[in-house]
């Protein structure tokens, strides 16, 4: 939610900031803006709408200067207007601020500042912070402008309740950036004669691969040559410089028209990366060293709680079926936003996993901290290296999927399920899972990338099916057992990028109310591979057909019975039942993608959404 980038160095700031914003646009795209110190003062350009609008504005009215800040917004307080776009200025117009997060006590702070003569230009919570810092700065008389600015940021943040990742500049302190974080990510990029502050390393990857991931309560100030990180109360903090793993090419679209399609097509590799080096043939098990748990500790686990949001919660649901069937450990899935506020009874032998692609989702992060506060070991299944969950969890596994930029999660889902399958095998092999069964599943995991390739080859056919149903008023997604979560994920993909009503259900639930919706205009997508519940699914397909409902079926190659009754069939290769969601989810991703493109929707930046949900 919101992307920020600041630059200080010798080069022209505007192109660097605009390029950085392009890489951060996935975080929010309601408005964008920049403020640059031009040597004699501050210049601001900002406007509502996509980044292209800001580019046009800057092209028509260029800004010189080599120190500046910029922002791409996902609106929380105040609609996406020009006035509400960041950066926000203080009362004097000499200080500019960009902010990611929510200032919860903004109204009382605003009231106080207004009483003291401040005039606000926007409806945002963020502008209050700019005024507050400026107000304190203006009242300071001792020290250099740079250190007065640092001090003002420090004092202002002590008055604030909420979350923030901020970067601040001031006309009186040219070539100087101040940043701080609490609850919203902020990364320092270290260059030669230039430094950066950004929400995500992707924004600075063209300039440097050396990054410092700031922690909550860290405050940083920097010139192009130097930087200092302290705690908000002025104490010293430890930090390490990390080498960014991914390359510039990985965050570009290449020859694909959309990030989502690129990421769907990356799945043979991303699934391979999720299990590479983690299969142990000798033990017919999986190796997950990052869990930081001894075999004895793993044997003592008698309950597992999997926590996540959105797609990650659907992967968790597949994980529940996997762990319960392979390891026989009672497992439950908790939506992070619910888990964090309920008092779930947990005992010492309960293991908690938080699952998150970004590693920054605020509810998942808060759920992790809540679990830790109660003395539990909380492990992370995370994609983004260096993210807050990756750093604060007590161990876990990376997905190694590479950056996922399309707002709709695709490759992260299949990698999350792959890692959960490895976890289930590991726990299973310490309990009841036989060596033969373990070996068979390992072999099936190895075969996944090639099987995914055969599904991707059907992309054009799936597009034709999508075009056939373009006038549908909505879509139902139905599946049983391991593929009930797949149905939920298929429905989420369809609604978030195509804006049509879609809902996922266990197939058998149809008769408990949902079947009332079935009509010629409402297609049902059945996930019905050749598995232990195929016959049951077929009965449910028949029930829909009997009521003239069109049926698109995902089934296993060679299944003629499903082909005979469904209107359209998409085949997946044969696969062991517990891994079938990995294959079955891919045609659903492609169906949603082609449907969305044909409808003219913005696939990578669907309305009202942002990739990383860092506000509650
Ligand atoms: O980064 P996370 O995995 O924590 O994100 C969780 C959800 O916000 C995310 O999966 C969201 O539901 C996707 N847009 C779904 O495609």
DSSP secondary structure string for all residues of 156-175? HHHT--B-EEEEEEETTS-S
- Torsion of the alpha carbons at 294, 298, 300 and 306, rounded to the nearest 10: 140
Q: Give this prediction's pTM.
A: 0.90
Ligand 1, atom 11, residue with closest C-alpha: 310
In whole angstroms, give the CA distance from residue 163 to residue 165. Answer: 7
pLDDT at 107: 97
Tens of pLDDT, residues 417-427? 999 999 999 99
Is 401 a domain residue?
Answer: yes
Tens of pLDDT, residues 505-560? 999 999 999 999 999 999 999 999 999 999 999 999 999 999 999 999 999 999 99
pLDDT at 26: 86
- For ligand 1, whether the C-beta of 397 sits within 6 Å is no
In whole angstroms, give the CA distance from residue 317 to residue 470. Answer: 30
Could you say which of 200, 217, 244 is where a domain stops?
A: 244
What is the mean pLDDT of the segment spanning 27-39? Answer: 94
- For ligand 1, whether the C-beta of 354 sits within 6 Å is no
In whole angstroms, give the CA distance from residue 584 to residue 491. Answer: 13
In whole angstroms, give the CA distance from residue 525 to residue 476. Answer: 6
pLDDT band, residue 224 (cuts 50/70/90): very high
Burial of 348: CB neighbours in 10 Å, binned 0-12, 13-18, 19+: exposed
pLDDT at 90: 98
C-alpha distances in angstroms, 535 versus 75, 413, 478, 507, 510? 48, 27, 14, 12, 16
Residue 261 has pLDDT above 80, yes or no: yes
Is 421 a domain residue?
Answer: yes
Residues 196 and 216 grouped into a single domain: yes
183 secondary structure, DSSP code: B
Mean pLDDT of the chain: 96
613 Cα: distance to centroid of ligand 1 (angstroms): 8
Residues 108 and 210 grouped into a single domain: yes
What is the mean pLDDT of the segment spanning 335-359? Answer: 93
Which residues, at least 6 apart from 258, have a Cβ–Cβ distance to it below 8 Å? 406, 593, 597, 603, 604
pLDDT at 246: 80
Annotated catalytic residue 67: no
pLDDT at 461: 97
Q: Which atom of ligand 1 is nearest to the CA of 311?
A: 10
Residue 273 has pLDDT above 80, yes or no: yes
The pair of structure tokens assigned to 472 is: 């549908």
Could you say which of 403, 428, 457 is where a domain stops?
A: 457
Is 615 a domain residue?
Answer: no
Could you say which of 457, 474, 508 is where a domain stops?
A: 457
pLDDT at 231: 96
Tens of pLDDT, residues 464-481? 999 999 999 999 999 999
Residue 354 has pLDDT above 90, yes or no: yes
Residue 117 has pLDDT above 90, yes or no: yes
Is 611 a domain residue?
Answer: no
pLDDT at 126: 96
What is the mean pLDDT of the segment spanning 250-275? Answer: 95
CATH number for 532: 3.40.50.10490
Residues 600 and 481 grouped into a single domain: yes
Tens of pLDDT, residues 563-608? 999 999 999 999 999 999 999 999 999 999 999 999 999 999 999 8
- For ligand 1, whether the C-beta of 613 sits within 6 Å is yes
In whole angstroms, give the CA distance from residue 141 to residue 514. Answer: 69
pLDDT at 127: 97
From 29, 184, 309, the mutation candidate for ligand 1 (largest count of ligand atoms within 8 A of CB) is 309
Ligand 1, atom 8, residue with closest C-alpha: 310
pLDDT band, residue 486 (cuts 50/70/90): very high
Instruction: Identify the bridge partners of residue 352 per DSSP, sorted by sequence position.
Output: 305, 378
Ligand 1, atom 9, residue with closest C-alpha: 310
How many separate domains does the chain show? 3
Residues 233 and 263 grouped into a single domain: no
DSSP secondary structure string for all residues of 476-534? EEEE-TTHHHHHHHHHHHHHHHH-SEEEEEEGGGGGGTGGGG-STTS-EEEE--SSTTH
pLDDT at 614: 80
Q: Which atom of ligand 1 is nearest to the CA of 412?
A: 3
Tens of pLDDT, residues 47-82? 999 999 999 999 999 999 999 999 999 988 899 999
Residues 216 and 279 grouped into a single domain: no
- Domain span at residue 595 reads 459-606
Residues 309 and 282 grouped into a single domain: yes
Annotated catalytic residue 2: yes
pLDDT band, residue 150 (cuts 50/70/90): very high
Say if CB 533 and CB 541 are below 8 A apart.
no
Residues 372 and 410 grouped into a single domain: yes
pLDDT at 348: 85
- For ligand 1, whether the C-beta of 408 sits within 6 Å is yes
606 Cα: distance to centroid of ligand 1 (angstroms): 13
Three-state SS at 469: coil
3-state helix, strand and coil shares in percent for the chain, rounded to the nearest 5: 40, 20, 40
Residues 427 and 536 grouped into a single domain: no
Q: Closest Cα partner for 358 from 289, 421, 308?
A: 308
- For ligand 1, whether the C-beta of 562 sits within 6 Å is no
pLDDT at 51: 95
Is 552 a domain residue?
Answer: yes
Residues 435 and 498 grouped into a single domain: no
400: left (phi over 0), alpha (psi -120 to 50) or beta: left
Is 612 a domain residue?
Answer: no
Residue 250 has pLDDT above 90, yes or no: no
What is the mean pLDDT of the segment spanning 269-297? Answer: 96
CATH number for 199: 3.60.20.10
Residue 1 has pLDDT above 80, yes or no: no
- For ligand 1, whether the C-beta of 496 sits within 6 Å is yes
Say if CB 83 and CB 122 are below 8 A apart.
yes
From 613, 614, 615, the mutation candidate for ligand 1 (largest count of ligand atoms within 8 A of CB) is 613
In whole angstroms, give the CA distance from residue 220 to residue 264. Answer: 38
Ligand 1, atom 10, residue with closest C-alpha: 311
pLDDT at 76: 87
Is 435 a domain residue?
Answer: yes
- For ligand 1, whether the C-beta of 358 sits within 6 Å is yes
77: left (phi over 0), alpha (psi -120 to 50) or beta: beta
The alpha-helical segments, DSSP class H, found in 69-164 are 106-115, 126-139, 145-158
Is 250 a domain residue?
Answer: no
Q: Which atom of ligand 1 is nearest to the CA of 358?
A: 1
- For ligand 1, whether the C-beta of 309 sits within 6 Å is yes
Residues 272 and 236 grouped into a single domain: no
Residues 24 and 36 grouped into a single domain: yes
Residues 274 and 391 grouped into a single domain: yes
Q: Closest Cα partner for 422 from 353, 481, 335?
A: 353
pLDDT at 347: 87
pLDDT band, residue 336 (cuts 50/70/90): very high
pLDDT at 616: 78
- For ligand 1, whether the C-beta of 365 sits within 6 Å is no
Ligand 1, atom 12, residue with closest C-alpha: 310
pLDDT at 245: 80
pLDDT at 228: 98
- For ligand 1, whether the C-beta of 494 sits within 6 Å is no
């Amino acid at each position: 939610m919101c992307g920020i980038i600041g630059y200080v160095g010798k080069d022209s700031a505007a192109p660097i900031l605009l390029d950085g914003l392009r890489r951060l646009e996935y975080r929010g795209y309601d408005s964008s803006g920049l403020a640059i110190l031009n040597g004699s003062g501050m210049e601001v350009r900002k406007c509502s709408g996509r980044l292209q609008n800001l580019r046009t504005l800057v092209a028509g009215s260029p800004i010189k200067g080599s120190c500046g800040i910029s922002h791409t917004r996902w609106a929380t307080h105040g609609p996406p207007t020009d006035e509400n776009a960041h950066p926000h200025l203080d009362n004097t117009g000499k200080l500019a601020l960009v902010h990611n997060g929510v200032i919860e006590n903004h109204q009382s702070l605003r009231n106080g500042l207004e009483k003291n003569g401040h005039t606000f230009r926007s409806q945002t919570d963020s502008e209050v912070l700019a005024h507050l810092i400026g107000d304190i700065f203006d009242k300071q008389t001792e020290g250099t402008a740079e250190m007065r600015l640092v001090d003002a940021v420090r004092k202002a943040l002590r008055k604030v309740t909420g979350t923030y990742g901020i970067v601040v500049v001031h006309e009186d302190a040219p070539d100087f950036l101040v940043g701080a974080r609490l609850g919203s990510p902020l990364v320092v990029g270290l260059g030669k004669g230039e430094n950066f502050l950004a929400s995500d390393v992707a924004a600075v990857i063209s300039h440097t691969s050396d990054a410092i991931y700031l922690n909550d309560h860290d405050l940083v100030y920097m010139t192009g040559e130097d930087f200092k990180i302290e705690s908000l109360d002025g104490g010293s903090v430890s930090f390490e410089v990390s080498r960014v793993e991914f390359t510039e090419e990985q965050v570009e679209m290449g020859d694909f028209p959309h990030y989502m399609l690129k990421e769907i097509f990356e799945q043979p590799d991303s699934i391979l990366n999720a299990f590479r080096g983690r299969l142990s043939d000798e033990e017919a098990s999986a190796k997950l060293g990052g869990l930081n748990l001894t075999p004895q500790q793993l044997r003592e686990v008698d309950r597992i709680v999997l926590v996540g949001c959105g797609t990650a919660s659907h992967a968790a649901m597949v994980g529940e079926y996997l762990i319960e069937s392979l390891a026989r450990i009672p497992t439950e899935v908790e939506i992070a936003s619910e888990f964090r506020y309920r008092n779930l009874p947990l005992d010492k032998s309960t293991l908690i996993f938080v699952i998150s692609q970004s590693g920054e989702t605020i509810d998942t992060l808060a759920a992790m901290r809540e679990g830790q506060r109660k003395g539990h070991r909380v492990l992370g299944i995370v994609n983004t290296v260096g993210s807050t969950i990756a750093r604060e969890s007590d161990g876990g596994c990376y997905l190694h999927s590479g950056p996922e930029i399309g707002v709709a999660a695709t490759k992260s889902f299949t990698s999350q399920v792959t890692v959960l399958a490895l976890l289930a095998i590991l726990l299973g092999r310490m309990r009841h899972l036989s060596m033969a069964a373990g070996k068979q599943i390992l072999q099936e995991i190895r075969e996944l990338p090639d099987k995914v390739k055969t599904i991707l080859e059907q992309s054009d056919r799936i597009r034709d099916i999508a075009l056939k149903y373009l006038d549908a008023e909505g879509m139902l997604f139905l599946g049983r057992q391991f593929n009930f979560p797949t149905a939920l994920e298929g429905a989420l993909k369809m609604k978030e990028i195509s804006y049509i009503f879609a809902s996922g259900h266990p197939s058998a639930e149809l008769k408990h109310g949902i079947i009332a919706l079935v009509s010629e205009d409402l297609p049902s997508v059945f996930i019905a591979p050749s598995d232990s519940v195929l016959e049951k699914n077929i009965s449910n397909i028949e029930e829909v057909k009997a009521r003239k409902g069109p049926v698109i079926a995902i089934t296993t190659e060679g299944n003629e019975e499903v082909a005979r009754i469904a209107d359209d069939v998409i085949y997946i290769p044969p696969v062991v039942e517990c891994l079938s969601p990995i294959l079955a989810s891919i045609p659903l991703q492609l169906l949603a993608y082609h449907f969305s493109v044909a409808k003219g929707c913005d696939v990578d930046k669907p309305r009202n959404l942002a990739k990383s949900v860092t506000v509650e």
